[in-house]
Amino acid sequence: TMLTLLGATTVVLVAGAPWMLPAAAGGTTLKSPQNVEVYIVDDTFILRWNRSNPSIRNVTFSAYYQTLGNDTWLKLPGCQSVANTTCDFSSLKLNVYDKVKLRIRAEEGNNTSPWHNIDSFTLFEKAQIGPPKVHLEAEDKTIIINISLPGARDSVMWALDSSSFTYSLDIWKNSSSGERRTETVYSRDKIYNLSPETTYCLKVKARLLPRKNGIYSPVYCIKTPDRGRD
């Protein structure tokens, strides 16, 4: 009958409807990037993530940012159509104490994944203190130490805190297997009561109270002069 035919036709159309979905037609459904992390050291800003569709080729990633009080999502510089799983957005010019939100998605042609959103944070809050640069001079039983503020000379991240840094120093005789001593020093300081004609090695990390501890510098070594030498 006509009703039977219409019913059969209706069943066929309903059953066929899912095959008309664009994602199914393309054969893939993109998933959001996973394990997204913001990694900041001094004035270097890195965004990292993992692929959720490792078997799909030609997938790129794009990230956007939004500042507190501004509802507009803007392109995150250095993080547009990235084929890798990391991008550098250090060129972003923001007040390091302002709240910022990030979001990132996967893209393949006209297909896009849902956004992966990162909760609001400040650049300063996320920032780690990098290794300081160290210059040493030796005299008699003393080492003179000069420590440069972590980051570049024109560092924006630590500009307001430059006078608040202290430094934790580990020092040991190069010939000994143990016996390290730790001292708190300032950017220009002296280490006393050392042995003459002895090579000492040390490493330094910066501290910013109340809760920021930096990354250790490389190991620097220097030999104290002979006691009789001027």
Tell me the pLDDT tens digit for each residue of 93-141. 999 999 999 999 999 988 999 999 999 999 999 999 999 999 999 998 8
Q: What is the pLDDT of residue 3?
A: 42
Task: pLDDT band for 201, please (50, 70, 90 cuts).
Answer: very high
Average pLDDT over residues 207-217: 89
Residues 214 and 138 in one domain: yes
Q: What percentage of the chain has pLDDT greater than the value 90?
A: 63
Q: What is the pTM of this model?
A: 0.76
Give SS3 for 132.
coil
Residues 69 and 33 in one domain: yes
Structure-model confidence comparison of residues 104 and 208, the more confident one: 104
What domain range includes position 64?
A: 26-127
Count up the domains in the chain and report the number: 2
Task: pLDDT band for 8, please (50, 70, 90 cuts).
Answer: very low
Residues 121 and 153 in one domain: no
Residues 110 and 135 in one domain: no
Q: What is the pLDDT of residue 105?
A: 97
Q: What is the pLDDT of residue 152?
A: 80
Residue corresponding to tokens 């007040």: 95
Residue 176 has pLDDT above 70, yes or no: no
Residues 171 and 117 in one domain: no
Closest CA to 86 of 128, 44, 121: 44
Residues 34 and 72 in one domain: yes
What is the C-alpha to C-alpha distance for residues 133 and 147, in angstroms, rounded to an integer? 6
In a domain, 156, yes or no: yes
Residues 47 and 97 in one domain: yes
19-55 as b/e: b if 16+ CB within 10 A: eeeeeeeeeeebebbeebebebbbbbbbbebebbbee
In a domain, 230, yes or no: no
CATH number where 35 lies? 2.60.40.10
Please give the mean pLDDT across all residues of the chain. 85
Q: What is the pLDDT of residue 13?
A: 38
Domain boundary among 110, 127, 144: 127
Q: What is the pLDDT of residue 86?
A: 97
Task: pLDDT band for 230, please (50, 70, 90 cuts).
Answer: very low
Residues 102 and 78 in one domain: yes
Residues 31 and 123 in one domain: yes
Domain boundary among 97, 112, 127: 127
In a domain, 193, yes or no: yes
**DSSP alpha helices (H): ranges in the chain?**
2-16, 22-26, 123-126
Residue corresponding to tokens 């924006």: 156
